[in-house]
Chains A and B, each alone.
Chain A
């Protein structure tokens, strides 16, 4: 399905986010269309995670607009955004360490508490198991005992159980073994194939650009570059700044 270009699913207009006096995000514009995989790359402290948290509602917006599905959601509390199909996988995984893996997954379906949803939740659980076989093997285990990669898988699986239409992934590859990093990206791709729009924040610019249709580069709270993943991958500025390539000159 080609991305729908007419009306963006999510739009950030001149968005500012501040921690007290410190401006972390200084007026950025981002647009996401249904079915896209878009990544947001940049160095540490560029404001990527802040941007994601503002979209998810866990941080307040200083000024600017956040438009989701044609509605302004600037002041919508975080938990109500989940009800509207906007799910965040927080940085550092953020799983419930003292609950079992299964309980963690079911927490993902917390917003779908109506009785009529029960059957569908079971179907979705099976779908998550197919996508993440490692998670299924460890259902009874307490989540805190999983390895880093498994915890990340669990966090993604949990987010999927809220039936998101837009998934916000914050550094899913952080601190993981290379083998797991690749697996995570494969999982992200299969999520996109199922029609979920994904906004991905990544330090691993190389992989992120390879997999994404479009990308934004953030630096010092501003968007400095944007374009297709392919184009940015070959952009000399990106290559020198984020892909660790030393300039010839």
Chain B
């Protein structure tokens, strides 16, 4: 939050209180403004929030513990498919969200540990390759488990997923106040997701300055030295995978509920890379940066998509560049310029792994 406050022009440095109010207001009013342009934009915002959650979770693995994970989307898939299995007509099971979502998170964590065990000894490139393979394996399973027994319904995916019901309140149903005024369900989803994201961010922030967070930072910097100061490196790495995966699993469940439909297509390698790009773009290890990275990289391509086509037809009379290609181009350019201009991301991580009240350097040392 403080990181977000600091980037508000002028007020960020001069009057943090005003800056804080601006950020808060923006977060709360954004979907209403977006609704003014069109409901599609609120939908994009909703997805942006899911990406924020994914990026914050992946940041825990990549930014905090230094474990490069290229298969992160697999945990998103596990969460989404858990929702699809346990809350859809596919198996005829309709469990409530407060059972399905924790289960999805739990399965994702389990998947994280399953991935974690074989890669404990790997680092850097090798780790990246194995996690990439893991992500693909999960997707291929989803794609092919439709015979001999139909579990995942293969490439067609699973349809008509239950929407989010919180204590009997159906989030996907608009709230009608008068005949002419009602609250769009996309707007409701935004605030529900916002609550989840806020919770995740607080959790991750607390983790960063905890004993575990410091252990992760130590492992990231030097594996052997971490062992030498008495850190159980194996368990800490597994914990990083499991906890990162948990966020992916929750986001996946929400995605399933929101979209109402899951198919293996949504969990391709490209998605893993996009989430990683958000983390790197925003600043590995810096939660505020990662949030900004996720928001920017999920918004920009959509803006392009909606303006590129009309602009091209206006200029050349035909569409020369498909928006999908343009999207990749934007990612590539964003990353290249980032590496050239700000190699450690929009907001570089600063070392801060201790609770401020315990830091000697903040107090006067000695008499």
Q: A98-B221, A102-B360 are in contact. Are A56 and B228 (CB under 8 A)?
A: yes
Interface string of A84-101 (1 = CB under 8 A from B): 000111100011111110
Q: Is A98 in contact with B217, judged by CB distance below 8 angstroms? A: yes
Q: Is the CB of B365 within 8 A of A110?
A: no
B229 CB contacts on chain A under 8 angstroms:
82, 87, 107-108, 110-111, 158-159, 162
**B218, A99: Cβ atoms closer than 8 Å:** yes
Q: How far is the CA of A79 from the CA of B232 in the complex (A)?
A: 6
B220 to chain A, nearest CB (A): 7
Please give, as numbers and ranges, the residues of chain B lying within 8 Å of A129 by CB-CB distance. 365-366
Tell which of B217, B228, B231, B354 has the most Cβ of chain A within 10 Å. B228
**CB atoms of A139 and B360 under 8 A apart:** yes
B225 near A110 (CB under 8 angstroms)?
Answer: no
Verify A102–B227 contact, CB threshold 8 A: no
Please determine whether B228 and A110 come into contact, CB atoms closer than 8 angstroms.
no
Say whether B228 contacts A159, CB under 8 Å.
Answer: yes
User: Main secondary structure on chain B at its contact with chain A?
Assistant: helix
B2 in the interface (beta carbon within 8 A): no
A96: contacting residue among B225, B233, B361, B365, CB under 8 A: B225
Q: Mark B326-363, 1 if CB is under 8 A from A, else 0.
A: 00000000000000000000000101011000111100
CB interface residues, B 215-243, toward A, < 8 Å? 215, 217-218, 220-222, 224-233
Is B165 at the interface (CB under 8 A from chain A)?
no
**Bound state CA distance, A94 and B227, in angstroms?**
11
Are B228 and A98 interface neighbours, CB within 8 A?
no
Q: Is A113 an interface residue (CB 8 A)?
A: yes
Closest approach, in angstroms, between the C-beta of A150 and any C-beta of chain B?
16
B14 CB-CB contact with A under 8 Å: no
Q: Is A58's CB within 8 Å of the partner chain B?
A: yes
B173 CB-CB contact with A under 8 Å:
no
Q: Are B221 and A100 in contact (CB under 8 A)?
A: no
| B228 in contact with A140 (CB, 8 Å) | no
- Asked if B17 lies at the interface with its beta carbon under 8 angstroms from chain A, I say no
For B349, list chain A residues within 8 Å (CB): 98
Chain A residues numbered 61-98 whose CB sits less than 8 Å from any CB in chain B: 77-80, 82-83, 87-90, 94-98
Residues on B with beta carbons closer than 8 Å to the beta carbon of A78: 227-228, 230
Q: A136 at interface (Cβ–Cβ under 8 A)?
A: yes
Cβ–Cβ < 8 Å partners of B227 in chain A: 56-58, 78-79
Is the CB–CB distance between A136 and B211 below 8 Å?
Answer: no
Q: Are A90 and B228 in contact (CB under 8 A)?
A: yes
A78 to B230, CA, bound (A): 7
CA distance A140 to B218 in the complex (A): 17
Least distance between B355 CB and chain A CB atoms (Å): 11
B214 within 8 A of A: yes
Report if A98-B351 is in contact (Cβ < 8 Å); known contacts: A56-B228, A58-B227, A89-B228: yes
B residues in contact with A136, CB < 8 Å: 365
User: Is A142 part of the contact surface with B, judged by Cβ < 8 Å?
Assistant: yes
- Count of chain B residues with Cβ under 8 Å from any Cβ of A? 28
Contact (Cβ within 8 A) A79 B220: no
Residues of B within 8 A of A56 (CB): 227-228
CA distance A57 to B233 in the complex (A): 13
Cα(A80)–Cα(B228), bound, Å: 10
Q: Determine the chain A residues whose CB is within 8 A of the CB of B365 once the complex forms.
A: 129, 136, 139
Q: Does A205 contact B (CB under 8 A)?
A: no
Q: Of B215, B217, B224, B361, which contacts A58 at CB under 8 A?
A: B224
Q: How far is the CA of A58 from the CA of B226 in the complex (A)?
A: 11
CB under 8 Å from chain A, chain B span 131-150: none
Q: Hey, which chain B residues are within 8 Å of A79, CB to CB?
A: 227, 230-233
**Which residues 134-159 of A sit at the B interface, judged by CB distance below 8 A?**
136, 139-140, 142, 155, 158-159
Residues of chain A within 8 A of B361, CB atoms compared: 100, 102, 139-140
Knowing A96-B217, A96-B218, A96-B221, the reply to whether A87 touches B354 (Cβ < 8 A) is no
Q: In chain B, residues 259-317, which have Cβ atoms closer than 8 Å to a Cβ of chain A?
A: none
Given A79-B231, A159-B228, do A106 and B222 touch, yes or no (CB 8 Å)?
no
A188 at the binding interface (Cβ < 8 Å): no
Residue of A nearest to B222 (CB): A94
Determine how close the nearest CB of chain A comes to the CB of B90; give it in whole angstroms.
Answer: 45
Chain A hits for B359, CB < 8 A: 102
B122, chain A: closest CB distance, angstroms: 17
Measured between C-beta atoms, what is the minimum distance from A200 to chain B in Å? 16
A-B contact pairs, 13 of them (CB 8 A): A57-B227, A78-B230, A79-B230, A79-B231, A79-B232, A97-B221, A97-B222, A99-B353, A102-B354, A110-B215, A111-B230, A139-B365, A162-B230
Q: Which positions in B face A, CB cutoff 8 Å?
A: 211, 214-215, 217-218, 220-222, 224-233, 349, 351, 353-354, 358-361, 365-366
Residues on A close to B: CB < 8 A? 56-58, 77-80, 82-83, 87-90, 94-100, 102-103, 106-108, 110-111, 113, 125-126, 129, 136, 139-140, 142, 155, 158-159, 162
Question: Lowest 6 CB-CB distances: which A-B pairs, in order?
Answer: A82-B230, A94-B225, A111-B230, A96-B221, A140-B361, A88-B228
Extra contacts, 13 of them, besides A79-B227, A87-B229, A159-B228 (Cβ < 8 A), are: A79-B230, A80-B230, A94-B225, A94-B228, A96-B221, A97-B222, A99-B218, A100-B351, A100-B361, A106-B358, A107-B229, A126-B366, A158-B229
